[in-house]
Structure 1
Amino acid sequence: MKNNWLAFLFAILLPAIAAAQPARPVRLQVPLDSIHLSDPFILADKKTHLYYMTGTGGLLWKSRDMKRWDGPYPVAQPDPASWMGPKPMIWAAEIHPYKGRYYYFATFTNEALKISAKDGRQLDRRACHVLVSDRPDGPYKPMQDATYLPANRLTLDATLWIDKDKKPYLVYCDEWLNEMNGTVEKIALKPDLSGTTGEAQVLFRASDSPWSREDPRSGPVRPNKVTDGPYVFRTGTGRLGMVWTSWIYDVYTQGVAYSTSGTLAGPWTQESNPITPPNFGHGMLFKSFEGKTLMAIHSHRSEGGRYIRVPHLFEVDLTGDKLVVGKAYRP
């Protein structure tokens, strides 16, 4: 089990470390399956009629048709004097249009700052933060608040949701390393998204999952500790759902939960089975310019001892009461 966790941590660190490396040369007309990218997020921007893809590493790809992509472009410009430091690692970036501007939700890691985990380990400070730009391709720069979430907690994979009260919320994971049982939580955002307000609320815990599994090597099999990659959506009937990712032993796996109240406050009930094939996870949903609902997601595979993560697209049916993942989509 220890080796599985080490492999997992190594796999997620590698692409994030790329954000601190010298800029890569821009490539043109690259097929989607030739791009190595964790946690892909695609914005179909109606203003520019372009697709923008980002994710872990904090870089950006652009496409007119999703068949061929140009990139990667550096777009994030966090404050080097802030807690993030001059060269933070960037994880699971998302771009959300909101009230005429574009907001860059991401997880930033500063290896120079440490916090204490529950088990006493000293861990790199990692937290969700939001940057802003007037353009979808940036540059994205800081707003008002220096922090969005407590400095003594490891948080990650932030996303935006506008709830029934018409207010914006930050939905994110409080990492399993904090309490050895990861959570998905929400906290209210200021009207201009420049900071958070009020107290966070736990929506559900990793241990609530009926499908995730962890082998403790002694004693019975138990639910996995990891919560990863939450993304909120509504079905065609108005039902509120959330995809999120964990593990079944050493297999990266995505499931779905639904809110019985129709709001973020829940309570949330977990579906019994995963909704995507094994070794796929950290999915998000978007509509193509042709009106087709798609899921962007990445797969895991090992090649010569290296973890490779490649973005994929799946067709999705949201017309009924549940999210149904269909066949792989080829643009």
Structure 2
Amino acid sequence: MPPLLVRDLLAQKGESLQLELLTGDVGLDRPIPVPEISSPGLVLAGFTKRFAARRLHALGETEIAYLKSLRPAERRRSLEAFLSYELPCVFVTKSQPVPRELVALAKARKIPVLRSKLKTAEFYRRITPYLTEMFAPSTTVHASLADVYGVGLLFTGRSGIGKSECVLDLVERGHRLVADDVVHITQRGADVLIGRAHELSYRYMEIRGVGLVDVSGLFGIHAVRQQKRIEVVVELTDWEKAGEAERTGLDGKATRILGVELPLVSVPLNPGKNITVIAEVVAMNHLLRYSGVDAAKAFNTRLLKRMAEQRELREYLSEDYE
């Protein structure tokens, strides 16, 4: 994956962050190596130990007020120490007047300075999710993703097994398409996977024998969504190659994507099998388990209780000699 450049950030988030470039085209090709942004207040005050120079840095009202309070020579020394590091770029928030020394020294060091109209807290709130997403682990899988009763079902299986047809049938029943054939997956936090379609294939599906279809055009805009958390993987397999299929659900399977463990439901297919209804049941069963109701465990508990009752009855009758 190519590195994220300051130029990319400006192009993609310049409008949202209300950015104004103060140093011209200087340093726009500097890479942004880490997804963190912080305030350099201590460095401006002279404490440079443990300074995270690789981060983006934002000067808020406190930092600008501190610089204004310094004498010109002291202010220049403070900024020279700050800009002596290989900083990706420097932001100034709340449309504050920028010290001339900052712009001049930054230009000399080829470090871009950008000013935002946003307050510091709002600036952080908007830029942090963007940086997190841009640096998040990601992968692309051959699968189809649908939102079924609010549950993200990722359908996997060999090419031609019927993933797209299953999702199309789900859409016809009122569920929503997220991605077909190619799913781009991004990790959010420790255990959340977000799936989305490629920007070119969003809303489209390829149905063998029919070709490309525009799902939103056929079923309405409510039939598609841009992204969805992946919660269950539904593996479609050939009946002949499926082996021993799960019968009770007690021994739940799992799979890993980007190191995140997800429930895995393997469904062997044979002619006439209604995979669409099965997919709906998988989604509803997941919702039940999420709410604390596990049908397999409940049935197992009920069965064990009945067996215990029968055993007690047999023991009682075996001791009845009348």
Scaled by the length of structure 2, the TM-score of the pair is 0.20
Scaled by the length of structure 1, the TM-score of the pair is 0.20
Of the two, which has the highest radius of gyration?
2
Looking at secondary structure, tell me which structure has more helix per residue.
Answer: 2
